[in-house]
């Protein structure tokens, strides 16, 4: 059994990005990332802090626009417009979740697709499905980088994706199909989850439910990607997979923490540098 070490790979990617950022700076372009953070959600604040620190390490300029929970949709849209028009900012990230009185879809659609480094805009989602060059959502993109790093060939593989969110499950499906995998996608209405996971060569799960995938639900030699992250009552961080028992049957498996999580932030940085490169080409 091989551990898919996302922490190690993310550091390697950051080192490469540092060089790319230096090259861009020599051409007069400093990659810039703006983050919009609304409210007091502790997890959101932690994630934003991690993103800001990572930007600093590779030389990306970052700015966080913090707003109270009470901000209006109109005020938020006005800020997005301002960032869209700022030539020094190449990537714009809306930290989710947003308060209930704000239409999340409307906000995400207001982001300039050329600055949509989270890959959530319908324009970029459409290009992703068609297999065109675009910004892919960071978590599924990070999973694809892990497959590449560990020479896991996806062509013809039976893959079961558990979770059908717009952020992870659906874009994960698109990336896998474009890599010629045969993809089964399961969700809350799936009748018999284990019937799908048992026949899969690769199981990818991200629903936020500890021990959802147990050893009796997978076949020997399975490759397991655990995107879930859950904090137990005793303070431990675990994924959606019963790691201790499933790892005994797996050929490859991601740990939690240290698997997909660090890759998500690395891909955000990679998308931001990509956006800055695109900008540099346009202003030539």
β-sheet with 61-67: strand ranges across: 61-67, 32-38, 91-94
DSSP annotation of 104: H
Report which secondary-structure segment, H or E, holds 106: helix 104-110
Crossing angle (nearest 10°) for helices 169-178 and 122-129? 30
Structure token pair of residue 92: 């714009």
Task: Kindly write down the DSSP assignment for every residue of 179-198, as one continuous string.
Answer: TT-EEEEE-TT-S-HHHHHT
Question: CB within 8 A of 61, min separation 6: which ones?
Answer: 30, 31, 32, 33, 55, 88
Q: For residue 2, list its beta bridge partners.
A: 252
| Catalytic site positions | 51, 95, 118
Structure token pair of residue 168: 């992870």
* Residue with token string 């060059």: 133
Rounded CA separation 202/183 (Å):
10
Q: For residue 32, list its beta bridge partners.
A: 61
């Amino acid at each position: 059994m091989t551990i898919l070490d996302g922490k190690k790979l993310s550091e390697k990617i950051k080192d490469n990005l540092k060089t790319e950022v230096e090259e861009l700076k020599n051409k007069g372009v400093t990659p810039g990332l703006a983050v919009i953070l609304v409210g007091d959600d502790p997890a959101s604040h932690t994630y934003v802090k991690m993103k800001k620190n990572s930007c600093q390490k590779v030389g990306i300029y970052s700015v966080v626009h913090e707003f109270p929970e009470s901000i209006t949709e109109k005020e938020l849209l006005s800020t997005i417009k301002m960032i869209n028009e700022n030539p020094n900012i190449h990537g714009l990230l809306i930290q989710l979740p947003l308060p209930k009185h704000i239409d999340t879809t409307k906000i995400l659609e207001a982001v300039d697709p050329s600055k949509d480094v989270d890959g959530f805009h319908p324009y970029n989602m459409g290009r992703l499905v068609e297999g065109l060059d675009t910004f892919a959502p960071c978590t599924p993109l990070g999973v694809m980088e892990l497959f590449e790093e560990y020479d896991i060939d996806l062509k013809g593989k039976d893959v079961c994706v558990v979770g059908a969110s717009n952020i992870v499950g659906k874009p994960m499906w698109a990336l896998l199909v474009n890599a010629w995998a045969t993809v089964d996608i399961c969700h809350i209405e799936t009748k018999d989850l284990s019937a799908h996971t048992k026949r899969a060569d690769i199981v990818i799960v991200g629903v936020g439910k500890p021990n959802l995938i147990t050893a009796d639900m997978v076949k020997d030699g399975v490759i397991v990607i655990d995107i879930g992250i859950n904090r137990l009552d005793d303070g431990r961080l675990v994924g959606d997979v019963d790691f201790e028992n499933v790892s005994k049957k797996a050929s490859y498996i991601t740990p939690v923490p240290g698997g997909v999580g660090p890759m998500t932030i690395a891909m955000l940085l990679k998308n931001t540098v990509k956006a800055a490169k695109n900008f540099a080409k346009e202003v030539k």
